[in-house]
A = this chain, B = another copy of it.
Amino acid sequence: MKDFTVDNLTDEVVAAYVAGATSPRLAQVFESLVRHLHAFVLEVELSEGEWFEAIQFLTATGQQCDERRQEFILLSDTLGVSMLVDAINHPKGGQGTESTVLGPFYVEGAPDMPYGGDIRRRHLATAEPCLVTGRVTDADGQPIAGATLDVWQTSANGFYDVQEADAPQWNLRGRFTTNEAGEYALVTEKPVSYPVPTDGPVGRLLAAAGRHAFRPAHIHFIVRAPGCEALVTHVFVDGDPYLDSDAVFATKASLVGEFKPGTDTDLARRCGLDGPHSHLAFDFGLMPAGG
């Protein structure tokens, strides 16, 4: 009969998961998972008390999740795993806009907005009006008409709408479509840096690691066009103090945008902005699907 010991256990577990795995890919993933998980436990000689703390931590992480919050994505983000998956699946090719993590606060179904539409559904005194404009192009640099841009961001108080019980629905979210020249324009607030939620297990992990919880200010985009690979990315605010220590390791130099004082008064007025505002000009380059 089987007599499991430190010396044979990993191989025995691998064999049990590989022998009858329902696909070759699953067998590959199971083997790698078991070998690395066991190697970690052996390397640190995990104590029984530490094992039980890990069980409690993972349980609490699952139980913190609901339709408005995904603590396991946040854990993946703060351990750099989400960014690693992004980097593996979207290698930098020298062409097209770089991708970064989706984050836990994307919501499908944001309202369609016209060219120059305003996604602010309330006006906080501390919020700085901001015009965002740019073009979407294909791999040949040709403008793409009818590309869609899903846009979302935090409010000036540092929260996404879904984190606040009394925020207007779809505040600072919208879906835009490029015009015949491949251009988009929208009105929003200049984003602010903000902490990821720290009142759950991930907050305790960050505290144990002595890490701050802040993300540099950014606007999220998902840019899509027929025949192109969907682009999930952020545009970060130049000069943000957290660009060098993003809590979720998602910054890329090419994704930093300049938020300048707005000077195109005509365009601003057409978008309903009369007073002082920031202006971000940012173009997105898409790559062919399956490329």
Contacts from A to B (Cβ < 8 Å): 1-6, 9-10, 12-13, 16-17, 19-22, 26, 28-30, 32-34, 36-48, 50-51, 55, 58-63, 65, 70, 72-73, 76, 79-89, 91-92, 207-211, 243-246, 249-254, 256
Contact = CB atoms under 8 A, between A and B. Distances in A.
A211 to B, nearest CB: 6
Contacts of A48: 85-86, 89
A80 B9 contact: yes
Contacts of A81: 37-38, 41, 51
Given A12-B249, A32-B40, A33-B40, 12 more contacts: A9-B249, A16-B209, A22-B208, A29-B44, A34-B79, A36-B36, A36-B43, A41-B81, A46-B88, A58-B61, A61-B62, A62-B62
A250 to B, nearest CB: 7
- The listed residue with most B CB atoms (<10 A of its CB), out of A12, A32, A80, is A80
Copies of this protein in the complex: 2
Contact of A63 (B1, B32, B44, B65): B65
Contacts of A51: 76, 81-82, 85
